[in-house]
A and B are shown apart, each in its own frame.
Chain A
Amino acid sequence: MVGKVLVANRGEIALRVVRACRELGVRSVAVYSTADADSLHRMLADEAVCIGPPPASGSYLNVPAIISAAELTGADAIHPGYGFLAENARFAEICERVRLKFVGPSSRVIARMGDKAEARKVAREAGVPVTPGSDGACESVAEVRRVGSEVGYPLVIKASAAGGGKGMRVVRDEAEVEDAYREASREATAHFGDGSVYVEKFLEKLRHVEVQVLADSFGTRVAFPERDCSIQRRYQKLVEESPAPGLPPEAREGLTSAAISLIDALGYEGAGTVEFVFSDGDFYFIEMNTRLQVEHPVTEMVSGVDLVAEQLKVASGERLEVPDEALTPNGHAIEFRINAEDPRRNFLPQAGPVEFYNPPGGPGVRVDSHLYAGYKVPPYYDSLLAKLIVHGADREGAVRRGMRALDEFALVGLETTLPLHLAILEDEEFRRGGVNTDFLAVRELRNESGLLRLATAGAPSA
């Protein structure tokens, strides 16, 4: 087993990794910026090193500072969490060079999957269905037009360098290609320093379904029950659940075997997620995230497997031991992201002191959060404050438990997405299950005597 793990992250995910280390008897080192001096990850880790000023570029993205902190504390592994340096192939490569075990796949695999056009190519070669579109990057307007005439409009132009909706343009017909190509390429250059783009058929009605995978260095590879992350706002996931409601069994099997084929082709090691879109009964590969994801607890709740502990075991060169029954979902789990954003004021980010904090408890409830009463939410980082995960015998039970737990969740001092989640759970279509990614876009939030409600646009108010 690795002896000491430096956690190169902050907030709830740093805490999640520190907790796994503690349970495995592995020492943990927190790194923190001066803005995070009062943060729980700093306090709960065995050791802590201040690595830089508040802006992430000087601290959580500061590679020399993080490597120095690992050297000073004698850490032998680095867990990157998610975000920050988690999918930075250069960082993984530096760790490899200085003999620090990067908890994740090799820098080569990270680089291959980080280039989205290349990832499509790898997937296609592995026999994984990809959305109809270009073979790799599109070098010119003419090439986009050629793909358009082959697969039909609408198309979507995407940046090779990343996801998250940046550098993305929907093209309705051939006349729009030229402007959209230029804009997407310019935006991709501005955000990622790489203007290359690729083209896919734009699927209007789709669900976001993904498969959690885990692989060790001995060739053991497992794929867990799928997660449905279709409730999104501006490409940011808000609610995730497992299993995906109403998915046909053959689609489920197809997703699992596609995910396994891809990681076989890559020689993948560690935890990762293969993301698909599910549209009209067919599924297509979109990308692979070569790291732990925010929504990993949903899988942990239905499989009983501690994914972070397994990551650390794999990084230590141990064999995976995932029992077969863990690969069939036990009950149903839903995660709600509690963000410091005010849903009543166009999701305005919130920062400042948490005056009162009392998370829900009771059966089937898990809260992963770095909050405590008196903690000040700094304005420098992402808005995730807490993840509420509920587990029930079936989806209906999980929804009821979610309502109960959200209702119990007491957080004073900041506006959060808590009331939005209650409104989502009250929505009839959500309750039926299997909604598309445009679920929130086609609805509007209404304030009805202090309570938030979702209504389909144009519907009369109650």
Chain B
Amino acid sequence: MPQDETRREVLPFEEVERLVDLVRRSGIGEIRVRQGDVEISVKARAETAATAGAPKGAAPQDAAAAETEELSAAERDGLHPVRSPLVGTFYRAPAPGEEPYVEVGDRVKAGEILCIVEAMKLMNEIAADVSGEVVEVLAENAGGVEYDQPLFYIRPEE
């Protein structure tokens, strides 16, 4: 993606500053903006002491650590994460070419199937553990997911 390459070099500093301001004033836990290859996420919470003491790791681990951070911010906004109970490949639809089980904005009931995580050729249906609205799909279709990785955010019904 050559055009993204050039875009990445220009850091949208003013934009970031505006987002930080917005987070601070509004009291929202987090704001995420995605544009092409660039994704900016601004969180209200400070780094926890536990991760601060640890040596700096390589990129994939940092991404995972950031996820935990994001989560607590989102959770404070009342969002419920549906986590993967196993390591495997994440599929949003029952079979290739079929409609996804759920889309953002859908209302789901606890027990309703949200996705499949395939491990060793076994399809494991993952159900919602709360009723509510699907707010965000956090994993990429046909990508790998870890144990305990958040797959969806659901805003639980009152």
Q: Indicate whether A34 sits within 8 Å of B119 (C-beta atoms), given known contacts A48-B61, A72-B87.
A: no
Within 8 A of A (CB), among B42-96: 50-51, 53-58, 60-61, 64-65, 68, 86-89
Residues of B within 8 A of A38 (CB): 50-51, 54
Cα A51 to Cα B56 in complex, Å, equals: 21
Cβ-defined contact, A73 with B50, below 8 A: no
Tell me if B141 counts as interface (CB < 8 A to partner A): no
Residues of A within 8 A of B64 (CB): 37, 48, 50
Tell me if B136 counts as interface (CB < 8 A to partner A): no
Cβ-defined contact, A72 with B88, below 8 A: yes
Residues of B within 8 A of A42 (CB): 57, 61
Out of A43, A44, A47, A65, name the residue touching B147 (CB < 8 Å): A65
Tell me if A219 counts as interface (CB < 8 A to partner B): no
Residues of A within 8 A of B56 (CB): 43
Q: Indicate whether A34 sits within 8 Å of B120 (C-beta atoms), given known contacts A48-B64, A65-B87, A374-B54.
A: no
Tell me if A56 counts as interface (CB < 8 A to partner B): no
In the complex, residue of chain A having the shortest beta-carbon distance to the beta carbon of B50: A38
Tell me if A390 counts as interface (CB < 8 A to partner B): no
Cα A44 to Cα B56 in complex, Å, equals: 9
Cβ-defined contact, B54 with A72, below 8 A: no
Q: How large is the interface on A (under 10, 10 to 19, 20 to 34, 35 or more residues)?
A: 20 to 34
Out of B51, B53, B55, B148, name the residue touching A50 (CB < 8 Å): B148
Q: Indicate whether A50 sits within 8 Å of B57 (C-beta atoms), given known contacts A65-B87, A69-B87.
A: no
Tell me if B112 counts as interface (CB < 8 A to partner A): no
Within 8 A of B (CB), among A59-84: 59, 64-65, 67-69, 71-73
Cα A47 to Cα B64 in complex, Å, equals: 11
Cβ-defined contact, B119 with A68, below 8 A: yes
Cβ-defined contact, B120 with A64, below 8 A: yes
A118 to chain B, nearest CB (A): 30
Out of A49, A51, A374, name the residue touching B53 (CB < 8 Å): A374
Chain A 26-56 near chain B by CB (<8 Å), digits 1 or 0: 0000000010011010111111111111000
Residues of A within 8 A of B88 (CB): 68, 72
Cβ-defined contact, A34 with B148, below 8 A: yes
Cα A45 to Cα B60 in complex, Å, equals: 10
Residues of A within 8 A of B148 (CB): 34, 50, 53
Tell me if A373 counts as interface (CB < 8 A to partner B): yes
Cβ-defined contact, A43 with B57, below 8 A: yes
Cα A69 to Cα B89 in complex, Å, equals: 10
Cβ-defined contact, A49 with B146, below 8 A: yes
Residues of B within 8 A of A153 (CB): none
Tell me if B144 counts as interface (CB < 8 A to partner A): yes
Cβ-defined contact, B60 with A65, below 8 A: no
Give 13 A-B contacts (CB < 8 Å), ordered by A residue.
A34-B147, A34-B148, A37-B65, A38-B51, A44-B57, A47-B60, A50-B64, A50-B146, A51-B87, A65-B86, A68-B86, A69-B87, A372-B54
- Where the two chains meet, the residues of B that have a C-beta atom closer than 8 Å to any C-beta of A are 50-51, 53-58, 60-61, 64-65, 68, 86-89, 119-120, 122, 144, 146-149
Shortest 6 CB-CB contacts between residues of A and residues of B: A374-B53, A43-B57, A72-B144, A50-B146, A68-B119, A68-B87
- Where the two chains meet, the residues of A that have a C-beta atom closer than 8 Å to any C-beta of B are 34, 37-38, 40, 42-53, 59, 64-65, 67-69, 71-73, 372-376
A-B contact sample (5 more), CB < 8 A, given A37-B64, A72-B144, A376-B50: A43-B56, A52-B86, A65-B147, A69-B87, A374-B54
